[in-house]
Structure 1
């Protein structure tokens, strides 16, 4: 069964115009990632299979989290490629953090080709419960001259 891909011809034309043909320099198209909130922090998982952990750079500047990673091409010069679909080069992904993030406590781990980044909320941005004072309870007010008119005399 054949599937119709209306963008295949456009992708092929773009590749030919930019010189990114199979077996030559190929540039990664994207870095797939998941992002979700869990309690008082966000968690980001980015797929970076085959990337050397030493080439991963993670930084925050002006409220933007930038992930950069490098996958190098094989150095085999005298091979005849039959198929070559894995991208090589620099991967880059940026994420606007917005207000209320504690950038000093962002932490990251890299395992099994997945970069996991924990992005905590700042203390002032965390939800908190506010107690409500009720004023419906009547209060008894005693006057100072109530004891003076007690009937003694």
Structure 2
């Protein structure tokens, strides 16, 4: 990953408390793949938005406590999470794909055609 391809800007808005889920970003010649660990998040509580050069991942996680049980220790005080990334102009934000499986979100963002490497044919004569 290069800093020019995707940069994380995680400062929550004033007064907003949100978790910052861990994210791995892997870059190859044709684009980037982003993996976000979101344990305890249901698909219907997960929100993705791409606008201009910004990618936002947000939502809520829930921990069900059965009747007759109560929490005695809580390390996750806010069930909301949010990550915001600034995407480079090299990426084609119109072709983002997303998969969500067993608490892991996988996003694939291809590079725009003009930013992908291409082979140049050499003519003789």
Q: TM-score range by the shorter chain?
A: 0.7 to 0.9
Pick 1 or 2: higher relative contact order, CA cutoff 8 A, min separation 6: 2
Matches within 5 A, 1:87-98: 87-98=77-88
Which is greater in Rg?
1
Structure 2 residue 41 is the aligned partner of structure 1 residue 59: no
Instruction: Tell me how many residue pairs correspond in the alignment.
Output: 110
Q: Give the unaligned 5+ runs of structure 2.
A: 1-14
The match for 2:28 among 38, 60, 63 is 38
Deviation, structure 1 residue 41: 1.7
Higher helix share: 1
Q: Secondary structure at the match of 1:104?
A: helix
- Cα deviation digits, residues 129-153 of structure 1 (max 9, x gap): 2234466xxxxxxxxxxxxxxxxxx
Aligned mates of 2:102, 2:39 — CA distance in 1: 7
Aligned mates of 2:94, 2:24 — CA distance in 1: 22
Higher strand share: 2
Contact 1:72 1:88 survives alignment (8 Å): no
- Cα deviation digits, residues 6-43 of structure 1 (max 9, x gap): xxxxxxxxxxxx9xxxxxxxx54311000011331210
Aligned mates of 1:87, 1:36 — CA distance in 2: 30
Structure 2 residue 101 is the aligned partner of structure 1 residue 106: no
- Cα deviation digits, residues 67-89 of structure 1 (max 9, x gap): 01211354779754322224542
Aligned mates of 2:63, 2:32 — CA distance in 1: 33
The match for 1:83 among 53, 65, 73 is 73
Q: Give the unaligned 5+ runs of structure 1.
A: 1-17, 19-26, 136-153
Q: Secondary structure at the match of 1:42?
A: strand
Moved over 4 A (4+): 73-80
Matches within 5 A, 1:1-150: 27-72=17-62, 74=64, 79-133=69-123
